[in-house]
Structures are given as structure tokens and as C-alpha cells.
Amino acid sequence: MPQLNDSIRYLKGVGEQRAKCYEKLGVDTICSLLRFFPRAYTDFSEITPVMECVPGSVCCVRGKIFKKQGEQRIRKGLSLFKVYVTDGEGDLTITIFNNRFAFDALQMGREYCFRGRIQGNFLRKEMNSPEFIDPERVSPIRAVYHLTEGLSNNLISGHVKKALELWGDCLEDALPDTVRQKEGLCHQRFAVENIHFPQTKNALEVAKYRLVFEELLTLQLGLGLLKEQHREETGVLIQNPDVSEFEQALPFSLTDGQKQAIADGLKDFTSGVPMNRLVQGDVGSGKTMVACGLAFCMAKNGFQTAVMAPTEILALQHYRTFSGILGPMGISCTLLTGSMTVKQKRECKEQIADGQASVVIGTHALIQDTVSFAGLGLVVTDEQHRFGVNQRKKLAEKGERPHRLVMSATPIPRTLALMIYGDLDLSVIKEAPKGRQPIDTFLIDGKKRQRAYGFIRDHIVRGLQAYIVCPLIDEGESEAFSVTEYAEKLKGSVLSGVRTGVLHGKMKPVQKEKVMSQFQRGELDLLVSTTVVEVGVDVPNAVIMMIENAELFGLSQLHQLRGRVGRGTEKSYCILVSDYGNEQTRERLKIMTKSSDGFYISEQDLKQRGPGDFFGARQHGLPQLKIANMVEDMDTLRKTQRWAKRILMQDPALEFPEHAGLRREVEDLFEHGTQENG
């Protein structure tokens, strides 16, 4: 007999073909099928009497079939079947379209639960093609799974049932008894059974709570272990943590937050333990300067710094910033990106290898195996959520346990930051540099578009610059098409004479870079772009950000986009264009006009959209959670944080026999669950 960890194709009824389908859902072993948790449930347990069903609402009715009326052909390809149901007080007419199978399954005189939208009126109630179950035979709460071609909900449900029957007893409970008892959590077996086939609503909740707890505890333990590992290592030791020369060379004075973040870093450099620090700060708070100051310190002490940016545009921009400030002080900076020629890359790598280059800035070309450093002391990753945990690790492996600095892209509430970046220490920059003016934000509809163009033109005439961002309509050709077409249309507007550049994700890196450089140098007045300008781009002379179809963006993303302006001393504006359909969208966008606080905005965003959309499917580089929700399960999260601390204090490497299960889970989550994202 196959084991829990064997391939799912050995499960009766699965086989090669369906195993391939399961693969698409991330299910490969029998065990992972049991942990393929439903995405939702259809509840047949709350029954509404027919008399009380309100037309237009979705109801579940329990009743007996008293009449069946066979096939009626309405026209070619459309036939319908009727079934008449009563719950003793009221009658319900059910129409089934094109589904003889369903019709035949329903037996005269038997009782079923039907769930669907009530049609008709108060006198004559109907339901079209409802879902139904036989309440005598199956549990009234039915799991709804993510599906893929070749696997229906019923099939999956059947396979899970079989797997539970055969292997349910082999499931080992990873939670130590003490934890389970103190927290009043159910056993593993009960949890897995009831998450798939809930006996009652309450049983489902109990099951879910236990699984959420287990998952979050595993996550916290994993992050805790990572943190512990670093603590045990010895880091690059800096003798002279003095950055006053750097500070004096700057054209502005650092904000208190920047100073504090740099001081935090310097303290880590002299501690003997590798730093693992996250710099959080709102858009435009000047996080780059923190990295720059720390890189300066490294260079002065004879160590190299690697700065990894998520895009070529950003890498180039950082290169200019770093070399502009550090270059005059005799610190050599170099750029390494994927689009450079083979020869350029080779020369660059030589400079890195023999230590001529003190600061190396690049995209993920930097983590290639052929890049080796003379003495890497600090690794900086910018806009970190684009990189996976593993990528961060890979770059760090290039040095003798270098210090690591991570700069976040999106400001997020502290509790959440601690959870996502639980393996990192945190420095928060609260205030923006002095002299920044608030960005005025307007919400307009399409009718005012021409006026907005006029407003943009007036600023361009004064030598300032602007962005217009169009959403990515879909992943196909249309991205290039939509911005190009948009720019084309502008020629018929008051913006016809302005020097306009187009930027979208489908362009080659060199092309993108060319346009971006032109814009940065002021050779273009207007940039029509998709969200490729979203993260990090810094052109202080740009003062207007106009966003088309603003309703299609998340609040945090809008805030990021808005952060592309307001970077200089000129008054800046953000214009959100939306012909929003409903009040809710309008309310959501209004938040942008009222607040400029990124932390607040991200909190609102999280509340409204949930973390899945907030981070994108796999942006934060954390293992993907199967069942816990970062926002809804915040209380459980705090509990598990405490437990993880307690457990790791007693058993820092999870070596006790009673922690073997947890250790296995951690390995599983962090080995198989982490997503890479370049």
C-alpha cells in the first residue's frame, strides 16, 4: 500500500492523467491532497421556509419532491426539466436546464436541500438550476475547492474522502500536546476531516482554528529559526563606524529618521553579529540615503556593498545616486545588469572580484554564480517584496556572512511588518525630508480629462514634467497597445506639442532605460506609462501624476504611483481619473484625496482587499499560507508569536522529540512553500 508521502497517482481513481491536473493545483502527494484545503463552503445547513424566501435572494430550501415533469425541448440545444418541491407549507418550482443527469438523480418522494437564487414572486417561487444535496447522505456544509481543467469539485471531494479513509490514521499531530491542550485545539485528525467534510458549522470553526494556529505557529517558528541562525554567525566586524564625512558631503541634511536608521545599522556593524535589518518608510522618505550612508561606512573600512534592485531602471537610478555621492569621495561604484554586453559584464565582474569596485549595483544578475566578490560586507535589497526569501539568501551567501539591509517598497503597519519580515530587525523612518509640500490629489471623471490635460500643459510650459499612467488591461498584447494608443490620442489634444515618451513592460530593457534616462534628463516632458514606473523611480522635476482608470488599482499602488511626484520643492499634484460605477469605489478612491500617510493607506487597503491582493499572489517572498489570513487571523498570529518564542527559548533548534513534528512542518513550509519572483 502506498504511503502518505507517495505520489497522488497511486490513489485509486487518480492515475497519471489526473495526477498531472493535480500538479497544477500544487498537489503532488496524498499528504498534500489532505492539505489541499477548500477555498470556500456551500452551506446547506441554514434552511429557509419557502414561505419566507425573498425573491432575489439566495436561499437554501429543504423539501420533498411531489412531482417531476420530464424533458421539454424549448429549442435546439435547450431543454428543461421541472421538479416540484414542498416543505409542507410552501411550494417551490425548480427548473433544471440541459441536465438530464441531475434530473434523474432527484427521486420522487425524497427530501433534498436546494440552494440557489429565488426567482418569481411571493405567490409563485422558483429556482433555476440550483445546487442540491441529499441531506440524509452527505454533510450539509460542502467544501468548494479551487479547480482546474479535468478536476471537478465532486472528483476532488471523492478523492479526499478516499484518502481520509485509507490514510487518516497515519496523520501525525505536529502540535505538541502541551500547546494543543493549553490552547484548547482539536486533534489533527478531527481538523483535517472537518475542514473537508464539516459535520457542523461549529466543527468547521474548531477545525479551521486549529489549522490556522498550526500554520502560523510553523511560520513563526521558521522565521524565528532563521533569525537564530544569523545570531549564531559572526558577521563582518567594522572598526570605524564614522559617517560624518558622508553626511557633510550631502547637499541636504539627513532627517532624524534617516540618521537613526543609519545609526541602527552602524551599531549592528560593530556588534559582531550579521545585521538583518528592514528599513520601513513612506514613499519618498529617503530610504536610499540610509543604504548609501552604510555603503560609505563599508567602503571606508575596506568592504564591498552589493545593492540589488528589482528592475534595470531602478538599478540605473541607484547607480547614479550612489556614484554621484560616493564617487567624489573616492569610492568607486559599478553597475551590473542583465542587458549589458558580455564584454561589459566580464569587465565589471573583474572589478568586483579584485575589489576595485567598492559598491556594486545591479539587478538579479548580481546573484549569478559567476559573480564573486573580493570582500562583501553589506548586501542591500531594495523594494524587497519583489524578491523571495531565497534570493535574499543567495546574494548573502556570496560573502562571509555579510550584513543585510532591506528597504521596503510599501509601508505597512508594524504588526504586519513583524510578521512578514519576522526574521528582520526594524528601523522606521517616520518623517519626510524638510521642504516637501503635500501633494494635492483630485478625483475627477472622464469629462474633465481635457481640463486636466490643460493643467498638465501649463506645468510643462514652465519646464516641469508629468506622468500619465494607464492600467495594464490584460497580460497580452494590449499593454503595449494601450499606452502607445493613448500617447497617439494625445496628439489630438492640447498636449499635442509636448515631447512625449512611452514606457511599458513589453519593451526591451535597453529601450526602457533609454526612455527613462531621457525623462530623467528632462529631454521628455511627459511620460505615458504602465505601472512600470510604480516602484522607486525618482525624478524630482516631475510634478503631476495622472492615473487613468484609477479604480483598477489598489490604494497602496496608487500611493506608490503618487509617490513618483512631490520629490522636489515644487508643488505637486495627483489626478485620479475614474468613471467609477459605484459608491464603494468612490469612497475607496476618496481615501487618496484625504490622506497622504502611506501607513494609514496600506492599512485601509489591507482591510478592504485582504492580503492576497494586497501583496499580489506571491510578492512578499514568504512561504505561501494555505489557510491562515494575515489580517483576519491577527489575534491568532500574536498568540503563535508568543508560543514560538517560548518553544525556541527551550529548544532553539527544534531538536526535542516532541518538536519533531513542528520541525518537519517548518521544513516543509520553507522548503516547498517559498516562491521565487524575479
Give the residue at shortest CB distance from ligand ADP.
Answer: 286
CA distance 592 to 475: 27
Stretch that binds ligand ADP, among 51-59, 177-185, 252-260, 516-524 (CB under 6 A): 252-260
| Residue 596 binds to ligand ADP (criterion: CB under 6 A) | no
- Run of H or E including 324: helix 312-326
Among 29, 139, 288, 529, binds ligand ADP (CB under 6 A): 288
CA dihedral in degrees (266, 270, 275, 279; nearest 10)?
A: -10
| Residue 294 binds to ligand ADP (criterion: CB under 6 A) | no
Q: Which residue bears the cell 467534510?
A: 197
Nearer to ligand ADP, 338 or 433 (CB): 433
Give which of Mg ion, ligand ADP, none residue 468 binds (C-beta under 5 to 8 Å, depending on kind): none
Q: Which residue bears the cell 441531475?
A: 102
Question: Can you point out the beta strands (E) in 30-173?
Answer: 40-43, 58-75, 78-86, 91-97, 111-120, 125-128, 131-133, 141-144
Residues forming contacts to Mg ion in the complex (CB under 5 A) are 536
CA distance 306 to 360: 5
| Residue 289 binds to ligand ADP (criterion: CB under 6 A) | yes
Stretch that binds ligand ADP, among 249-257, 343-351, 577-585, 586-594 (CB under 6 A): 249-257
CB of 281 to ligand ADP, least distance (A): 5
CA angle centred on 164, ends 666 and 30, rounded to 5°? 50
DSSP helix, strand, coil percent of the chain (3-state; round to 5): 45, 20, 35
β-pair partners for 132: 114
Among 29, 45, 285, 408, binds ligand ADP (CB under 6 A): 285
CA angle centred on 387, ends 417 and 347, rounded to 5°? 135
Contact (Cβ atoms closer than 8 angstroms) between residue 14 and residue 8: yes
CB of 506 to Mg ion, least distance (A): 24
Stretch that binds ligand ADP, among 115-123, 132-140, 284-292, 326-334 (CB under 6 A): 284-292
CA distance 434 to 252: 9
Give which of ligand ADP, Mg ion, none residue 285 binds (C-beta under 5 to 8 Å, depending on kind): ligand ADP
Nearer to ligand ADP, 32 or 288 (CB): 288
Nearer to ligand ADP, 431 or 651 (CB): 431
Stretch that binds ligand ADP, among 142-150, 286-294, 300-308, 419-427 (CB under 6 A): 286-294
| Residue 540 binds to ligand ADP (criterion: CB under 6 A) | yes
Quick one: three-class SS letters along 20-65? HHHHHCCCCEHHHHHCCCCCEEEECCCCCCHHHCCCCCEEEEEEEE
Give which of ligand ADP, Mg ion, none residue 254 binds (C-beta under 5 to 8 Å, depending on kind): ligand ADP
Nearest to 545 by CA among 607, 489, 606, 465: 465
Among 133, 254, 294, 466, binds ligand ADP (CB under 6 A): 254
Phi, psi of 277 (to 5 degrees): -125, 140
Contact (Cβ atoms closer than 8 angstroms) between residue 592 and residue 186: no
| Residue 465 binds to ligand ADP (criterion: CB under 6 A) | no
Give which of ligand ADP, Mg ion, none residue 2 binds (C-beta under 5 to 8 Å, depending on kind): none
Contact (Cβ atoms closer than 8 angstroms) between residue 559 and residue 601: yes
Among 63, 265, 281, 673, binds ligand ADP (CB under 6 A): 281
Contact (Cβ atoms closer than 8 angstroms) between residue 273 and residue 235: yes
Give which of Mg ion, ligand ADP, none residue 284 binds (C-beta under 5 to 8 Å, depending on kind): ligand ADP
Per-residue x/- marks for ligand ADP, 405-434, CB under 6 A?
Answer: ----------------------------x-
CB of 269 to ligand ADP, least distance (A): 21
Give which of ligand ADP, Mg ion, none residue 640 binds (C-beta under 5 to 8 Å, depending on kind): none
Nearer to ligand ADP, 291 or 483 (CB): 291
Cell digits of residue 57: 435572494
Per CB under 6 A, which of residues 207..226 are in contact with ligand ADP? Answer: none
CB of 311 to ligand ADP, least distance (A): 13
Quick one: three-class SS letters along 438-452? CCEEEEECHHHHHHH
Binding site for ligand ADP (CB under 6 A): 252, 254-255, 258, 281, 283-289, 433, 536, 538, 540, 567
